[in-house]
Structure 1
Amino acid sequence: MKLRIKKKLIFPLLILMIMPVLILGIFTYWNYNKTLINYEILRINNELNNILVLLSTVDKNNNDKAFILDYIKSLKKENMFIIEKNKFLYNTLKDKSINEQKILKSIKYDQEISSQYLLQYGVYHQWNWKIGFLIDKEAIPYKNHEINKVILLLIPLFIFFSLEAIILITDNISKPIGILLEAYNDMISGNFKKKINIKRKDELGLLGHAFNEMRNEIASKTNKFIEMKNFNEDILRSISTGIITTNINGKVIKYNQAAVNIIEKTTQNNPIIIKVLLSQIMNTLKTQKSINQVKSFKSKEEGRNIYLDITTSLMKNTNQENIGVICSFNDISSRKRIEEKIDQINRLTSLGQLTAALSHEIRNPLSGMKMSCQVLKKRLSSHLNLSDKKLFDATIYEIDRLDELITDLLSFAKPNLPKFQVVNVYEVLENALQFSSKIISQKNINVLKEFEENCLLAYFDKNQLAQIFLNIIANAIWAMDNEGTLKIKAKKFIEEKEYILIIFEDNGCGISKENIHKIFDPFYTTNKTGTGLGLSVVHKLITANHGEIEVESQINIGTKIKLYIPLYRRDKNEKKSVNN
């Protein structure tokens, strides 16, 4: 605003004082250059007259022509020419664009060669010589550049001093008003401490005193409003619940930082979350009722579900009139995952206890049955035909298979406590693949490995990690037809904790959505020859080693198993080991 006042004063003065100076300076410069050109023409004409006078003083014979021509050449004049009967005897033209034909044409038709050059020539009729010069109008000012410099320097100097005088005059007029405007801007920005000091006894001085009184009154009331506003903002900023408020039309008018953090984190994996929040807000406006819902969203990147606890309520003013909607929401994904794990662990624990008791009760009779069969086979070996021997062998084989099943049941029911150690994940994984290489080759399965680093260290029981890998690889091989593909990826994964993420992805038969939640249950299997304990054991072992497991699957497309294995951190893992 201060600049506008100055402009209103400065511009008219600039026009009145500087414009005449500029016009006079430009006219002087133009007139001076024109004078220089006229002087150059006069000088050239004098030189031509001198040459013509010289020619008239000599005898008219061929020897005299050669003498005069040599003499003129010795003068070394620039842009000079001599023509005899349309033939150039002498030519020192610098500009190659001006050729001899242009000069002859200009002389014949008495016209200008170009806007840059002037042609001046004289005729010596006795020899029929045309002697002339080309004058470069653009080069003339450069020959007198010192004088031009003085003229060009005086003009801006005069303008500069005129401008300084104008600024001093306008400052004296606009400075008090500028002080008031600056104080006004400070008040708008919240600075009430600056006091106006206009040492004048006129109306502007009285206005400054009144302005100070008004400033003190506004500062007192503003401070009270700021304290109340800061208190409310501190509450909104400190809570971890996301808060969004809208007007009566559903347009967002306010939100806290927690809302920004939750939305930024969750919408990266599922952009539809924002639409769901806005939809619930509009439903509250429509029904005029509070709504509380827990919404589940599929994460694009990690395959995990995102859970939001969303509550929307009508917002009312002091007159109990609806002025909008307040929406509060929390990301309860971690809590939901913990609840699901606890529920699954409880179910598996109950099954494990029952399985352990039954396994012991079944194993003892089986041992007696196997021993009895072996004794009978040995005693009756001389009396048995081939069919009877096969019957004994089949019985013993089935008893061994039941015993193996009981061993698996006991491993599931009460696995050994993990012995935590630093494990090279790639080494264990390569050993598991090597152990399974025979069946991989038989089914002609293509194994693709994609490892982010050369070495990833985990804090895990090495034997149990090997068992986990073997069980998962075996399941993947069984699920695929011949010439299937098994992709194995490994990389660091840092979220709430630091993990090594290992992904096993096959293109096998897949598992339906209805059955995906059953895969960790004991005895659940789609393999007619399997026991249904492979993934149950994997789940128990991964949980015992503080890891996590997730499964995604689609029928006839394939299955993806994600293992989150604790990353080795010397400062954390060894401290935890000591505490355990």
Structure 2
Amino acid sequence: MNNFRFQIILRTLLLFLLLFSSSYFFQNSNFFLGILFLIAALIPVYLIIAYSELSNKELIKFLKGINYSDFTQNITINNLGASFIKLANEMNQVLEKFKTLSFEKEENIKYLQTVVEHVNIGLITFNSKGEIGLINKGAKKILRISYLKNIIDLDKQIIGFGEFLFQIQPNRKSTYKFSYDGESIQLMIFGTEFRLKEQNLKLISLYNIQSELDEKEIEAWQKLIRVLTHEIMNSITPISSLATTADSLIKNSPDYHSEKEWIKDIVQALKIIQKRSEGLGSFVNKFRDISKIPKPNFQTINVSELFFRIRLLTEPIISDTEINISFSIKPENLEIIGDPDLIEQVFINLINNSVQALSETKNPVINVTAEIDEKSGAVFKVKDNGIGISENVIDRIFVPFFTTKQEGSGIGLSISQTIIKAHNGNIWVESSTNSTTTFSIRL
């Protein structure tokens, strides 16, 4: 027989027995025993209620566990029969399933958080008031911030950008270009809207496409240069060869030693053709310098040792001037990953440009620095107090063969940019006429 039913029946029979006894004594005018047995009847009433509530206590425990997401509870209903043991087992199985689902949910949340934090794309969510719900590391790195409470607060960092993101239309791609500490940044932006917890939220994705644009521009220049060098050399070679042959034929001619004017004119013309061909050949070789930058041989570079070598390499061009050049590293044990030969070439180009810009400056100074920017990595700067760069020129200084110098080739800065881009870095300049000029490199 079911133990729970047996216990209830037993307590009920005891209750009826006590009530019957109390009634018997009242009928026989024995009020004392009648009252005594009536009071005693309260005992089985209490036992019936307490015993029947044993399962309710475990049920309340079970429901509280679900309500407060405490799935470590263990439901035990003993001495109540097989049906209650089965009920307890079912409750424990339900709690175990909830526990498994909760664990899987936490694992999925951790997985999504890890993915969101490690993607290069910046992600920001905010509500209709602009209050930030989520901002990942990618967004913080792109925007150079460590904390953001409201999307409009971005206007303090980049004028108008917070309002632009707040007003952006969903499911549409946009671009936004701005300058941060002189570095040009162009973002591809996509916005979408969704509803969560009865709130309308907007999700913004940010991707810095400036490096891709620069790479495409460099690639386009290199392709153009390869085509031009091929076509020009195909034309120069036969012209130079024919000029040399014609010059040889005239020199072997009986009329060569005569005083005829037309002979002299032809010889002079051939010399000009040969010289011009050599000049064009030299010019084409400079084209090739840009289009044939070797791939970086990446290795760990100690910046202190790098600066020491650069100081030695640039000493010949500094020693004959009054320029005061200084090198600074913070921290002193700073290391980067890159090709030391190519990186040296970049710094030599930049320092050489500074030397030329300081030719007419009193108390000329060049400061070469390296430091860690916690938001974006190692930053190098070459700063001089020379003549500066005018606004109408500064946007073109990295264009191949663009130069403002009479004897300049216009390839030094272009090669430097190509090298830095090959290191997945960025190079930019801040300057104005008759002001300091600072070339910055981020690696």
Q: TM-score, normalised by structure 1?
A: 0.45
Residue 220 of structure 2 aligns with which residue?
Answer: 347
Does the CA contact (< 8 Å) of 2:420 and 2:427 recur in 1? Answer: no
- Cα deviation, residue 343, structure 1: 0.8
Does the CA contact (< 8 Å) of 1:520 and 1:535 recur in 2? Answer: yes
Q: Secondary structure at the match of 2:409?
A: coil
Mapping 1:495-514, distance limit 5 Å: 501-511=379-389
Separation (CA, whole Å) in 1 of partners of 2:194 and 2:280: 65
Structure 1 pair 375/431, CA: closer, same or farther in 2 (3 Å)?
Answer: farther
Does the CA contact (< 8 Å) of 2:306 and 2:340 recur in 1? Answer: no
Q: 2:361 aligns with which of 482, 490, 499?
A: 482
Structure 1 pair 244/489, CA: closer, same or farther in 2 (3 Å)?
Answer: same
Does the CA contact (< 8 Å) of 1:513 and 1:553 recur in 2? Answer: no
What letter matches 2:221 in structure 1? Answer: L
User: Does residue 313 of structure 1 match 2:193?
Assistant: yes
Q: Secondary structure at the match of 1:340?
A: helix
Count of matched residue pairs: 333
User: Does residue 548 of structure 1 match 2:421?
Assistant: no
RCO higher in 1 or 2 (8 Å CA, sep ≥ 6)? 2
Residue 323 of structure 2 aligns with which residue?
Answer: 445
- Cα deviation, residue 353, structure 1: 0.8
User: Does residue 533 of structure 1 match 2:411?
Assistant: yes
Residue 32 of structure 2 aligns with which residue?
Answer: none
Separation (CA, whole Å) in 2 of partners of 1:459 and 1:251: 41
Separation (CA, whole Å) in 2 of partners of 1:371 and 1:271: 74
Q: Secondary structure at the match of 1:305?
A: strand
Separation (CA, whole Å) in 2 of partners of 1:343 and 1:471: 23
Q: Over alpha carbons, which structure has the higher Rg?
A: 1
Q: 2:400 aligns with which of 488, 506, 522?
A: 522
Structure 1 pair 458/445, CA: closer, same or farther in 2 (3 Å)?
Answer: same
Structure 1 pair 367/454, CA: closer, same or farther in 2 (3 Å)?
Answer: farther
Separation (CA, whole Å) in 2 of partners of 1:206 and 1:434: 98
Does the CA contact (< 8 Å) of 2:175 and 2:186 recur in 1? Answer: no
- Cα deviation, residue 312, structure 1: 4.3
Separation (CA, whole Å) in 1 of partners of 2:395 and 2:407: 21
Does the CA contact (< 8 Å) of 1:428 and 1:465 recur in 2? Answer: no
Structure 1 pair 206/446, CA: closer, same or farther in 2 (3 Å)?
Answer: farther
Q: 1:470 aligns with which of 321, 345, 348?
A: 348
Q: 2:339 aligns with which of 446, 460, 480?
A: 460
Does the CA contact (< 8 Å) of 2:126 and 2:133 recur in 1? Answer: yes
Structure 1 pair 473/366, CA: closer, same or farther in 2 (3 Å)?
Answer: farther
- Cα deviation, residue 211, structure 1: 5.8
Structure 1 pair 316/491, CA: closer, same or farther in 2 (3 Å)?
Answer: closer
Q: Secondary structure at the match of 1:522?
A: coil
Structure 1 pair 274/415, CA: closer, same or farther in 2 (3 Å)?
Answer: same
Q: Secondary structure at the match of 2:151?
A: helix
Separation (CA, whole Å) in 2 of partners of 1:403 and 1:298: 40
Structure 1 pair 360/448, CA: closer, same or farther in 2 (3 Å)?
Answer: same
Deviation digits for residues 268-315 of structure 1, max 9, x if unmatched? Answer: 44989932586467547xx9x766544445445x94637363514263
Mapping 1:124-143, distance limit 5 Å: none
Deviation digits for residues 466-486 of structure 1, max 9, x if unmatched? Answer: 543332223223334423432
Q: 1:430 aligns with which of 299, 311, 316?
A: 311
Residue 123 of structure 2 aligns with which residue?
Answer: 242
Structure 1 pair 374/562, CA: closer, same or farther in 2 (3 Å)?
Answer: farther
Deviation digits for residues 48-106 of structure 1, max 9, x if unmatched? Answer: xxxxxxxxxxxxxxxxxxxxxxxxxxxxxxxxxxxxxxxxxxxxxxxxxxxxxxxxxxx
Structure 1 pair 554/562, CA: closer, same or farther in 2 (3 Å)?
Answer: closer
Separation (CA, whole Å) in 2 of partners of 1:505 and 1:293: 35
Separation (CA, whole Å) in 2 of partners of 1:527 and 1:459: 31
Q: Secondary structure at the match of 1:518?
A: coil
Does the CA contact (< 8 Å) of 1:266 and 1:306 recur in 2? Answer: no
Does the CA contact (< 8 Å) of 1:270 and 1:297 recur in 2? Answer: no
User: Does residue 330 of structure 1 match 2:176?
Assistant: no
User: Does residue 216 of structure 1 match 2:62?
Assistant: yes
Residue 405 of structure 1 aligns with which residue?
Answer: 283
What letter matches 2:223 in structure 1? Answer: S
Deviation digits for residues 12-38 of structure 1, max 9, x if unmatched? Answer: xxxxxxxxxxxxxxxxxxxxxxxxxxx
What runs of 5+ residues in structure 2 fail to find an aligned partner?
1-45, 70-94, 117-121, 155-160
Separation (CA, whole Å) in 1 of partners of 2:295 and 2:164: 48
Separation (CA, whole Å) in 1 of partners of 2:392 and 2:202: 34
Does the CA contact (< 8 Å) of 1:549 and 1:564 recur in 2? Answer: yes
Separation (CA, whole Å) in 2 of partners of 1:458 and 1:278: 35
Mapping 1:167-316, distance limit 5 Å: 213-220=59-66, 231=105, 234=109, 237=113, 240=116, 242=123, 244-246=125-127, 250=129, 252=131, 255-256=133-134, 259-262=135-138, 264-266=140-142, 268-269=144-145, 274-275=151-152, 276=154, 279=163, 283=167, 293-300=174-181, 303=183, 305=185, 307=187, 309-313=189-193, 315=195
Does the CA contact (< 8 Å) of 1:291 and 1:313 recur in 2? Answer: no
Instruction: Give me the identity figure in percent.
Output: 15
Does the CA contact (< 8 Å) of 2:380 and 2:440 recur in 1? Answer: yes
- Cα deviation, residue 451, structure 1: 3.1
Does the CA contact (< 8 Å) of 2:184 and 2:210 recur in 1? Answer: no
Structure 1 vs Structure 2 CA RMSD:
5.2
- Cα deviation, residue 367, structure 1: 7.6
Separation (CA, whole Å) in 2 of partners of 1:467 and 1:531: 16
Separation (CA, whole Å) in 2 of partners of 1:245 and 1:455: 38
Deviation digits for residues 146-196 of structure 1, max 9, x if unmatched? Answer: xxxxxxxxxxxxxxxxxxxxxxxxxxxxxxxxxxxxxxxxxxxxxxxxxxx
Does the CA contact (< 8 Å) of 2:233 and 2:281 recur in 1? Answer: no
